[in-house]
Amino acid sequence: MNKLENLWAGWRKEYLISANSHNYKDDFGKTLFESIDQSELSDQETFVIERRALTMLLLNAYPYNSGHLLIVPRRSVKTLAELSSEEHESLWKMVTDATKVLQEVFSPDGINIGLNQGESAGAGVPNHLHVHVVPRWSGDTNFTTVTANTRVIPEALIDTWTRISEVWLKEN
Protein backbone atom coordinates (compact mmCIF):
# COMPACT_ATOMS: atom_id res chain seq x y z
CA MET A 1 0.00 0.00 0.00
CA ASN A 2 1.30 3.47 -0.89
CA LYS A 3 1.88 5.93 1.90
CA LEU A 4 0.19 9.33 1.45
CA GLU A 5 2.72 12.15 1.29
CA ASN A 6 1.92 15.76 2.23
CA LEU A 7 3.21 18.84 0.45
CA TRP A 8 2.84 22.08 2.36
CA ALA A 9 2.12 25.50 0.86
CA GLY A 10 2.94 27.60 3.90
CA TRP A 11 3.28 30.74 1.80
CA ARG A 12 -0.54 30.83 1.46
CA LYS A 13 -1.05 31.48 5.17
CA GLU A 14 0.84 34.78 5.06
CA TYR A 15 -1.27 35.94 2.10
CA LEU A 16 -4.53 34.90 3.74
CA ILE A 17 -3.72 36.65 7.00
CA SER A 18 -2.56 39.85 5.31
CA ALA A 19 -5.46 39.91 2.85
CA ASN A 20 -8.12 39.40 5.48
CA SER A 21 -6.61 40.70 8.75
CA HIS A 22 -8.27 37.68 10.37
CA ASN A 23 -11.56 39.50 10.88
CA TYR A 24 -12.23 39.14 7.15
CA LYS A 25 -13.94 42.52 6.89
CA ASP A 26 -12.70 45.98 6.04
CA ASP A 27 -13.01 49.07 8.23
CA PHE A 28 -16.61 49.51 7.07
CA GLY A 29 -17.68 45.96 7.90
CA LYS A 30 -17.66 44.81 4.28
CA THR A 31 -16.21 41.53 3.08
CA LEU A 32 -13.48 41.51 0.44
CA PHE A 33 -16.04 40.67 -2.25
CA GLU A 34 -18.51 43.32 -1.09
CA SER A 35 -15.71 45.88 -1.20
CA ILE A 36 -14.83 44.86 -4.75
CA ASP A 37 -18.49 44.87 -5.84
CA GLN A 38 -19.16 48.31 -4.34
CA SER A 39 -15.83 49.82 -5.37
CA GLU A 40 -15.72 52.85 -7.62
CA LEU A 41 -12.81 51.26 -9.47
CA SER A 42 -13.35 49.99 -13.00
CA ASP A 43 -14.11 46.33 -13.62
CA GLN A 44 -10.75 46.09 -15.38
CA GLU A 45 -8.98 47.23 -12.20
CA THR A 46 -10.92 44.85 -9.95
CA PHE A 47 -10.96 42.01 -12.52
CA VAL A 48 -14.76 41.80 -12.41
CA ILE A 49 -16.08 40.12 -15.54
CA GLU A 50 -19.83 40.32 -14.87
CA ARG A 51 -22.31 41.41 -12.25
CA ARG A 52 -25.72 39.81 -12.39
CA ALA A 53 -28.55 40.75 -10.05
CA LEU A 54 -27.55 38.15 -7.43
CA THR A 55 -24.05 36.96 -8.35
CA MET A 56 -20.73 38.28 -9.59
CA LEU A 57 -17.92 36.73 -11.63
CA LEU A 58 -14.32 37.86 -11.24
CA LEU A 59 -10.81 36.74 -11.96
CA ASN A 60 -8.88 35.48 -8.93
CA ALA A 61 -6.10 37.99 -8.24
CA TYR A 62 -3.99 35.16 -6.78
CA PRO A 63 -4.68 32.38 -9.29
CA TYR A 64 -3.57 28.77 -9.22
CA ASN A 65 -3.66 28.79 -13.03
CA SER A 66 -4.43 31.27 -15.79
CA GLY A 67 -8.17 31.70 -15.99
CA HIS A 68 -8.87 30.96 -12.30
CA LEU A 69 -12.32 32.46 -11.75
CA LEU A 70 -14.41 33.16 -8.66
CA ILE A 71 -18.19 33.21 -8.59
CA VAL A 72 -19.69 34.91 -5.55
CA PRO A 73 -23.17 35.77 -4.37
CA ARG A 74 -23.42 39.56 -4.21
CA ARG A 75 -24.93 39.22 -0.73
CA SER A 76 -22.44 38.07 1.87
CA VAL A 77 -23.29 34.58 3.09
CA LYS A 78 -21.04 32.05 4.79
CA THR A 79 -22.72 28.82 3.71
CA LEU A 80 -24.61 27.30 0.81
CA ALA A 81 -27.59 26.81 3.13
CA GLU A 82 -27.87 30.60 3.59
CA LEU A 83 -28.46 31.19 -0.12
CA SER A 84 -32.00 31.88 -1.28
CA SER A 85 -33.32 29.62 -4.04
CA GLU A 86 -32.79 32.43 -6.53
CA GLU A 87 -29.20 33.02 -5.38
CA HIS A 88 -28.48 29.29 -5.55
CA GLU A 89 -29.80 29.09 -9.10
CA SER A 90 -27.89 32.21 -10.18
CA LEU A 91 -24.64 30.99 -8.60
CA TRP A 92 -24.66 27.59 -10.30
CA LYS A 93 -25.85 29.05 -13.62
CA MET A 94 -22.86 31.39 -13.56
CA VAL A 95 -20.55 28.45 -12.71
CA THR A 96 -21.89 26.60 -15.76
CA ASP A 97 -21.49 29.68 -17.97
CA ALA A 98 -17.94 30.17 -16.67
CA THR A 99 -16.93 26.61 -17.57
CA LYS A 100 -18.21 27.09 -21.12
CA VAL A 101 -16.25 30.32 -21.56
CA LEU A 102 -13.07 28.87 -20.06
CA GLN A 103 -13.35 25.93 -22.42
CA GLU A 104 -13.58 28.29 -25.39
CA VAL A 105 -10.82 30.67 -24.25
CA PHE A 106 -8.25 28.19 -22.92
CA SER A 107 -9.21 24.70 -24.21
CA PRO A 108 -8.12 23.14 -20.89
CA ASP A 109 -7.79 19.37 -20.40
CA GLY A 110 -10.09 19.66 -17.39
CA ILE A 111 -11.67 22.12 -14.98
CA ASN A 112 -11.74 22.05 -11.17
CA ILE A 113 -14.89 23.46 -9.58
CA GLY A 114 -15.09 23.78 -5.85
CA LEU A 115 -15.67 25.81 -2.75
CA ASN A 116 -14.27 25.74 0.73
CA GLN A 117 -17.05 26.46 3.21
CA GLY A 118 -15.58 27.84 6.41
CA GLU A 119 -12.10 28.71 7.59
CA SER A 120 -11.30 25.17 8.73
CA ALA A 121 -12.15 23.91 5.25
CA GLY A 122 -9.54 26.23 3.77
CA ALA A 123 -11.70 29.19 2.79
CA GLY A 124 -9.51 32.24 2.26
CA VAL A 125 -12.55 34.50 2.69
CA PRO A 126 -14.68 32.38 5.06
CA ASN A 127 -17.37 35.01 5.65
CA HIS A 128 -18.33 35.26 1.97
CA LEU A 129 -19.04 32.04 0.11
CA HIS A 130 -17.37 31.76 -3.30
CA VAL A 131 -16.89 29.09 -5.93
CA HIS A 132 -13.53 28.51 -7.62
CA VAL A 133 -13.49 27.54 -11.30
CA VAL A 134 -9.95 26.60 -12.33
CA PRO A 135 -8.88 25.42 -15.79
CA ARG A 136 -6.37 22.56 -15.65
CA TRP A 137 -3.91 21.03 -18.09
CA SER A 138 -1.93 17.82 -17.93
CA GLY A 139 1.40 18.71 -16.33
CA ASP A 140 0.30 22.15 -15.09
CA THR A 141 1.99 21.57 -11.75
CA ASN A 142 5.71 21.06 -11.60
CA PHE A 143 8.78 21.21 -9.42
CA THR A 144 8.86 25.00 -9.06
CA THR A 145 5.84 24.99 -6.78
CA VAL A 146 7.55 22.55 -4.42
CA THR A 147 11.18 23.62 -4.63
CA ALA A 148 10.86 27.39 -5.03
CA ASN A 149 7.45 28.12 -3.47
CA THR A 150 6.59 29.63 -6.85
CA ARG A 151 3.68 29.11 -9.17
CA VAL A 152 4.28 29.86 -12.84
CA ILE A 153 1.39 31.80 -14.36
CA PRO A 154 2.22 32.27 -18.06
CA GLU A 155 -0.08 35.23 -18.72
CA ALA A 156 -0.58 38.64 -17.10
CA LEU A 157 -3.86 38.98 -15.18
CA ILE A 158 -5.03 41.87 -17.34
CA ASP A 159 -4.48 39.79 -20.49
CA THR A 160 -6.45 36.90 -18.98
CA TRP A 161 -9.23 39.28 -17.90
CA THR A 162 -9.40 40.78 -21.40
CA ARG A 163 -9.56 37.41 -23.16
CA ILE A 164 -12.25 36.04 -20.86
CA SER A 165 -14.28 39.29 -20.88
CA GLU A 166 -14.36 39.44 -24.68
CA VAL A 167 -15.70 35.89 -25.00
CA TRP A 168 -18.02 36.34 -22.00
CA LEU A 169 -19.71 39.34 -23.66
CA LYS A 170 -20.29 37.35 -26.86
CA GLU A 171 -21.62 34.25 -25.06
CA ASN A 172 -23.75 35.82 -22.35
Residue 116 sits at the vertex; the CA angle it makes with 114 and 48, to the nearest 5 degrees, is 65
Query: For the stretch 98-120, what's the b/e string if a residue is b when 16 or more beta carbons lie within 10 angstroms of its beta carbon?
Result: bbebbeebbebeebeeebbeebe
Cβ of 69: how many Cβ atoms within 10 Å? 28
State the greatest distance between any 2 C-alpha atoms of the chain, in Å, as a whole number. 56
How far are the Cα atoms of 96, 134, 165 from residue 103, in angstroms, in the given order? 11, 11, 13
**122 contact partners, CB below 8 Å, separation of at least 6:** 116
- Let me know: does 54 contact 120? Beta carbons within 8 Å: no
- Let me know: does 109 contact 67? Beta carbons within 8 Å: no
Catalytic residue of the set 22, 68, 128, 130: 130
Is 130 among the catalytic positions? Answer: yes
- Which residues are catalytic, by number? 130
